[in-house]
Amino acid sequence: MAGAASVERVKDHATGLDKFVLREARGSSVEANFKPPKAIRGGIQICFPQLGNHGVLEQHGFARNRFWSVDENPPPFPVSTSNCHIDLILKSSQEDLKTWPHSYEFRLRIALSPRGDLILASRIKNVSTDGKPFQFTFAYHTYFSVSDISEVRVEGLETLDYLDNLRSKNRCTEQGDAVVFESEVDKVYLSAPPKIVIIDHEKKRTFVLRKEGLPDVVVWNPWDKKAKAMPDFGGEEYKNMLCVGAAAIEKPITLRPNEEWLGKQEISAVPSSYSSGQLDPEVIRRV
């Protein structure tokens, strides 16, 4: 029998830090681990105010390396999420202002829907008093667990232009009827549709990624040579992971004082079969 949804604050014994565990009534759960000063490897990294080296700051910006606070009294969210959620907030620090001299408030809602979908909704506001706008790029750098990267395909990005970070951000066009993986990939697909699917043949499972306010999609796998060169990444772990995340990269977001931006990503996992390059029609109807 299903229990009640819950949000629990617990102590992480490995780090001594507090963390939150969200549990949906049917058993799905989500939690985060963080051991500073190292960046998070895995999970969903919040890349702000830049992704990768698309800017002058440290890799993926600073938001993923900061301590966030619980937002005890957040303003109403303009999009539907779920009753099972936690609200966090990150504000400008003196350390951040040295490298990125803009005052902001970043509100993040993490939610689990009744059927176990994971929802992330980010709100970023310009709270500067100098009257100046600022620009940023953004991504949810989402790690998916897969059975075998060689047996995975991503649909929804075919025919799109992309920036190839392995070729000095050259602009290219996707030629395949789906994105498949045979070597290192580090791409930003531009003006992607609001729904992308990641099909794992061996597990007969499909991840459905929906996005709002985020026009682009990041796709990354380090493959063997780069994986072995990364100190916090197992030499063979590239075979069982894939990063696909909603992003805003090509056209940086500009906020004038008191303006706010909203970006949302929702992830569902559904059983699927695969035939002739299309998701099973019954699965599509349910999704």
CA distances from 264 to 123, 168, 220, 271 (A): 9, 28, 20, 23
For the annotated binding site for substrate, the residues are 41, 59, 64
DSSP state for residue 166 in the 8-state scheme: G
Task: List the alpha helices (DSSP H) in the chain.
Answer: 94-99, 223-229, 281-286
| Residue 193 tokens, joined | 């549709």
CA distances from 198 to 50, 75, 96, 184, 223 (A): 25, 34, 35, 17, 18
Strand order in the sheet with 170-173: 44-47, 134-145, 241-255, 216-221, 185-189, 161-164, 170-173
For the annotated binding site, the residues are 41, 59, 64
